[in-house]
Chains A and B, each alone.
Chain A
Amino acid sequence: MTSRAWGYLGWAVVAACFAVVELGAVATRRWATVADALRALTRRRTLQLACLAGWLWLGWHFFVRSSR
């Protein structure tokens, strides 16, 4: 198996983890859903501002800096 294939497999596992966490949260209500996590992040002003700064950086990274 090539290292590129391992890379794709790793990303598939990461994506599956996110899906399992969200589906598990919705099904069992034992832990936070993504909406709960977003709400918790925006409850404190400093955390909210940090998230917004990260969000702006993401926009710049993907829509300005990406090569087409």
Chain B
Amino acid sequence: MHRGRRRLSPAAPPPVRPSPQSIVTAAVESPSGEEHRCRAEEVAIAVEVSGRTRRTALAVAAGLLCGWWVTALTPFSAGATVAVLAFGAAEVAGAEVLRRRRRPHRPSGAGRRPALRGVAYLPWVLAVAGLAAWELFELFSLPRSAHPTISSLVDPLLAHHVLRWLAFAGWAWLGWELAR
């Protein structure tokens, strides 16, 4: 008759999940010393990391939404120019703010690989020089239609909004890596 209905019992209240703050408070106020203090620190770090992750996820989602809008604007228009440059400037400014906040907490060189010698970058210098040389060769060769450049290779792909948006996301990520 009463199939599917749960009978509620007043003697069994639903379990309450403690908030991270209450765990921290309880651990700090506990008299049993070091172990609890360590636990409190762990929880405090977990709370901070979870907050940072949420903020990062929100910023990425906002950036992706903004990117969708920017990549839908008419090419060669003043609006598109302003939108792309403003997005870039906002990203650089955001990275600068984070860098200034982070700087006092980071010991010099901590968590980083030791600096490589100059010769270690030679393969990249040669690869970039090769790319630049081939681009210039193709750019100044005639007839233009028979010599593809990076732009002429990429333009047909960027004609699709989704691909354009993905490329914009890649561009934004590169900017973040350069600016942070």
Q: Which residues of A contact B (CB under 8 A)?
A: 2-4, 7-8, 10-11, 14, 17-18, 21, 24-25, 30-32, 34, 36-43, 48, 51-52, 55-56, 58-68
- Could you pull out 23 A-B pairs where Cβ atoms are within 8 angstroms? A4-B146, A11-B153, A31-B120, A31-B124, A34-B124, A36-B120, A38-B178, A40-B121, A48-B178, A51-B178, A52-B175, A52-B178, A55-B88, A55-B171, A55-B174, A59-B168, A60-B81, A63-B164, A63-B167, A65-B75, A66-B151, A67-B75, A68-B155
Give the nearest-CB partner of B145 in chain A. Answer: A4
Q: Is the CB of B138 within 8 A of A36?
A: no
Q: What's the least CB distance linking A22 to chain B, in Å?
A: 9
- Which residues 147-180 in B have Cβ within 8 Å of A in the complex? 147-148, 150-151, 153-155, 158-159, 164, 167-168, 171, 174-175, 177-180
Q: Is the CB of A62 within 8 A of B178?
A: no
Residues of A within 8 Å of B179, CB to CB, are 42, 48, 52
Q: Is the CB of B159 within 8 A of A4?
A: no
Count of chain B residues near A, Cβ 8 A: 51
Secondary structure class of chain B's binding surface, majority of residues? helix
Residues of B within 8 Å of A65, CB to CB, are 75-76
Secondary structure class of chain A's binding surface, majority of residues? helix
Total inter-chain residue pairs, C-beta < 8 Å: 129
Contacts A55-B88, A59-B88, A67-B75 known; A3 to B147 CB distance under 8 Å?
yes
Excluding A59-B171, A63-B70, 4 further A-B contacts by CB distance (< 8 Å) are A31-B121, A32-B116, A40-B115, A52-B92
Q: Is the CB of A4 within 8 A of B85?
A: no
Q: Is the CB of A63 within 8 A of B84?
A: yes
Q: Is the CB of A38 within 8 A of B88?
A: no
Determine the distance from Cα of A18 to Cα of B130 in the docked complex, in whole angstroms. Answer: 10
